[in-house]
Structure 1
Amino acid sequence: MTRSLVNQTCAALPGASHSDPWGGGHDAWKVGGKLFAVVGAVETNGVSVKCADTDTAALLIDLGRAQRAPYFHASWVRIPFGSVEDAELVERIQTSYRLIRASLPKKLQATLAPS
């Protein structure tokens, strides 16, 4: 998995938008104005995504499939490129997207393209 494949995966999700809110070359992907995936400007060899809960994040970290995502809540993990198969990383991105999208107000969800 590479940064460009992360960006392609995120761009294909309905209602996803790209930004660089902190400047410096971050790839921050949002749905409904809320982050669901981030590739950093300095540490560019992985993507940070949200997990369903802190237990899931801790399990992925304990299994060596992810690292603690710096600057994010404990339910987020950073998955280094090459640490998991591309299919698993795509699934983690899609799961993060679904979790964030589901947390949006119903009115906002209704304005987004169907997922």
Structure 2
Amino acid sequence: MSRELVNEICAAQPGAEWSDPWGGGHDCWKIGGKTFAVTGAVGTHVSVKTDSVEMAEFLIETGVAERAAYLHRSWVALPLDSAPDELAHRIRHSYRLVRGALPKKVQATLPSL
């Protein structure tokens, strides 16, 4: 899985917006102003949100992911060369989690799922 494919998956999410908030070539994907996926400037991983700290720990313990640096413990870092279906699933799930946690007023302004 390449960084380009990760960006394609992220861009396909309704209302997703790309930014590089820290400069230097980061790929930070947001919905309603909140991050759902980020790849570092020279990163080999994409960081995504999980349902819980327990789910993140499970993914880390089973070798699917690593601890995501600088983010809450419910976030994990998946290698860019992960199985494409696993990576796509985790990105879409992160998107839905973040979108679902947005205020209802913000959600009402977003494109339909």
Superposed displacement of residue 42, structure 1: 2.7
One-letter amino acid of the structure 2 residue matched with residue 46 of structure 1: H
C-alpha distance after superposition, 1:26-67 (max 9, x if no partner): 000000000000010132x11000000000000000000000
Q: Distance in 2 between matches of 1:98 and 1:10?
A: 12
Aligned residues: 113
Q: Distance in 1 between matches of 2:54 and 2:11?
A: 28
Indicate the percent of aligned positions where both proteins have the same amino acid.
58
CA-based RMSD: 0.6
Pick the aligned partner of 1:95 from 93, 99, 102.
93
Matched residue, 2:34: 34
Residue 64 in structure 1 maps to residue 63 in structure 2: yes
Matched residue, 1:23: 23
One-letter amino acid of the structure 2 residue matched with residue 24 of structure 1: G
Please, what TM-score do these two structures have when normalized by structure 1?
Answer: 0.96
Structure 1: gaps of 5 or more residues: none
Matched residue, 1:112: 110
Structure 2: gaps of 5 or more residues: none
Stretches of 4+ aligned residues off by more than 4 angstroms: none
One-letter amino acid of the structure 2 residue matched with residue 26 of structure 1: H
C-alpha distance after superposition, 1:4-30 (max 9, x if no partner): 001000101001000000111000000
Please, what TM-score do these two structures have when normalized by structure 2?
Answer: 0.98
